[in-house]
């Protein structure tokens, strides 16, 4: 890059939630390493700190946005919709000021916004700046959201009440079934449809970036390439290409010392991501099943993730007893370090896309218990396409929990085969972000298109 290009700036607009902040900050790191200046325009809620690894980034705040209690009362879908309604004007103002600080409009190479921060597109249109959508989920989930945004809600709801339909394949989305589609547990189907139609609308965007790799989902990527009519850039997994710590919660590193004392590939690591909730009764069945499996376990229980209690205080004493015998609980873990630890033999996960990529990236097979949205798509792919996960469906009972842990970690062939496939996939992912790999080339192509203004 010449001197002029070194100074060009990319503006990032993240959704204020861990699963979205993490990959967009990694994207920022990747682009920064290619010589761009980075500005992050974020909401007041869940702000990333400018300290840590981001001292070279500029951070701007959109004033007067929503709070945690809004998230609790509205639910995630309505929260996002409301955020989009109230941020448009203040974002335009904030962005306008940033523009004034530039010597020339051309100093801003492009703005990359999370697909759920679609309100920001109005500002780029007004200021006539190139914009790019960043999807923090995978391409397959994007395809599904696009399909869902066009379904007839009444008919779909009737269909979904029929167990036979629920279990049948959804036309054109093999191997996904109706019940694997990314409908949200945090709002009505109408809300999902309405939010998804906004999110998949490329508006004036010049490209779409995915934190994914063609070795994981080439047909969905090709399909999007055809349907979206703008270039699609799969540049992930970003946590391998450009790791950047952006935890919004404090990580409890004491679990690493505990892991150091466990046997290789013996531990089940359990985490439901940054938003997942779990009922008391399910936690107790899980603790009983894990305990009966005789395997050690490391369990992330976020404060507030057990409805009706601050942390684990409302759980019966039996729970603490079972956990203290064989397990270790933390409020938030250094997840990537945990997955990299040789003691970890399996990951019980809600199958968020970041967790999925991080687990595959360390060759760790999974127990899949999706809760909502794209997690259901990921779980289906983990089980049926990549074949490195066991899906746990239906009511949680201690017997099924014990069985699934034994299948994955204790008993011979099935778990060993999954681990082998997971390690194969890990190697493919690593190759994709190395020089000459598909994701690395895709990122270079994206950067070249910015250089040549070939949008």
Q: How many angstroms separate the CA atoms of 122 and 107, rounded?
A: 20
For the segment 338-367, give every residue that binds ligand UDX (CB under 6 A). 352-355, 358
Given candidates 26, 131, 137, 295, which one binds ligand UDX under the rule CB under 6 A?
Answer: 137
For the segment 240-259, give every residue that binds ligand UDX (CB under 6 A). 247
Contact by Cβ (8 Å): 184, 421: no
Q: How many angstroms separate the CA atoms of 210 and 234, rounded?
A: 5
Given candidates 8, 12, 16, 20, which one binds ligand UDX under the rule CB under 6 A?
Answer: 20
Q: Tell me the CA distances in angstroms from 69 to 45, 65, 66, 372, one per residue in order.
A: 11, 12, 8, 21
114 lines the binding site for ligand UDX (CB under 6 A): no
273 lines the binding site for ligand UDX (CB under 6 A): yes
Contact by Cβ (8 Å): 310, 304: yes
CB of residue 128 vs ligand UDX: minimum separation in angstroms?
Answer: 30
CB of residue 282 vs ligand UDX: minimum separation in angstroms?
Answer: 17
Q: Which is nearer to ligand UDX, 20 or 92 (CB)?
A: 20
Q: Which is nearer to ligand UDX, 102 or 254 (CB)?
A: 254
Q: Tell me the CA distances in angstroms from 148 to 67, 299, 326, one per residue in order.
A: 29, 34, 43
Size of interface with ligand UDX, in residues (CB under 6 A): 24
Piece of 16-24, 65-73, 87-95, 277-285 that binds ligand UDX (CB under 6 A)? 16-24
For the segment 284-303, give every residue that binds ligand UDX (CB under 6 A). 300
26 lines the binding site for ligand UDX (CB under 6 A): no
Given candidates 274, 295, 432, 439, which one binds ligand UDX under the rule CB under 6 A?
Answer: 274
Given candidates 37, 84, 212, 335, which one binds ligand UDX under the rule CB under 6 A?
Answer: 335
Given candidates 12, 13, 16, 22, which one binds ligand UDX under the rule CB under 6 A?
Answer: 22
389 lines the binding site for ligand UDX (CB under 6 A): no
The residues of the shown chain that bind ligand UDX, judged by CB under 6 A, are: 17-20, 22, 136-137, 247, 271, 273-275, 300, 332-333, 335-336, 352-355, 358, 374-375
């Amino acid at each position: 890059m010449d001197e002029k290009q070194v100074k060009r700036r990319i503006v990032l607009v993240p959704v204020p939630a861990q699963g979205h902040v993490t990959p967009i900050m990694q994207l920022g790191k990747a682009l920064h390493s290619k010589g761009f200046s980075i500005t992050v325009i974020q909401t007041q809620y869940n702000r990333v700190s400018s300290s840590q690894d981001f001292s070279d980034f500029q951070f701007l705040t959109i004033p007067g946005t929503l709070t945690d209690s809004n998230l609790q009362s509205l639910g995630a879908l309505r929260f996002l919709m409301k955020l989009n309604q109230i941020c448009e004007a203040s974002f335009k103002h904030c962005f306008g000021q940033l523009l004034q600080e530039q010597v020339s409009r051309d100093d801003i190479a492009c703005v990359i916004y999370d697909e759920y921060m679609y309100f920001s597109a109005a500002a780029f249109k007004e200021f006539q700046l190139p914009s790019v959508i960043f999807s923090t989920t995978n391409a397959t989930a994007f395809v599904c959201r696009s399909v869902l945004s066009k379904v007839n809600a009444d008919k779909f709801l009737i269909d979904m009440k029929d167990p036979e339909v629920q279990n049948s394949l959804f036309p054109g989305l093999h191997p996904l079934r109706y019940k694997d589609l990314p409908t949200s547990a945090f709002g009505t189907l109408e809300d999902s449809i309405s939010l998804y139609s906004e999110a998949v609308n490329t508006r004036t965007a010049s490209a779409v970036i995915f934190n994914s790799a063609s070795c994981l989902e080439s047909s969905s990527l090709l399909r999007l390439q055809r349907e979206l009519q703008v270039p699609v850039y799969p540049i992930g997994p970003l946590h391998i290409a450009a790791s950047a710590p952006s935890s919004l919660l404090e990580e409890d590193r004491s679990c690493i010392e505990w892991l150091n004392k466990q046997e290789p590939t013996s531990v089940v690591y359990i985490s439901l991501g940054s938003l997942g909730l779990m009922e008391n009764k399910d936690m107790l069945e899980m603790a009983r099943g894990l305990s009966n499996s005789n395997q050690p376990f490391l369990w992330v229980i976020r404060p507030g993730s057990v409805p009706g209690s601050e942390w684990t205080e409302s759980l019966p004493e039996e729970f603490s007893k079972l956990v203290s015998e064989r397990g270790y609980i933390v409020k938030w873990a250094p997840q990537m370090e945990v997955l990299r630890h040789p003691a970890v033999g399996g990951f019980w996960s809600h199958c968020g896309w970041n967790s999925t990529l991080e687990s595959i990236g360390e060759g760790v097979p999974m127990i899949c218990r999706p809760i909502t949205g794209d997690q259901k798509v990921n779980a289906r792919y983990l089980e049926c396409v990549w074949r490195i996960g066991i899906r746990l469906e239906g009511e949680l009972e201690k017997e099924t929990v014990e069985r699934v842990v034994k299948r994955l970690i204790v008993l011979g062939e099935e778990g060993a085969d999954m681990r082998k496939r997971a390690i194969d996939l890990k190697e493919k992912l690593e190759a994709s972000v190395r020089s000459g790999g598909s994701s690395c080339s895709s990122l270079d192509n994206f950067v070249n298109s910015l250089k040549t203004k070939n949008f």
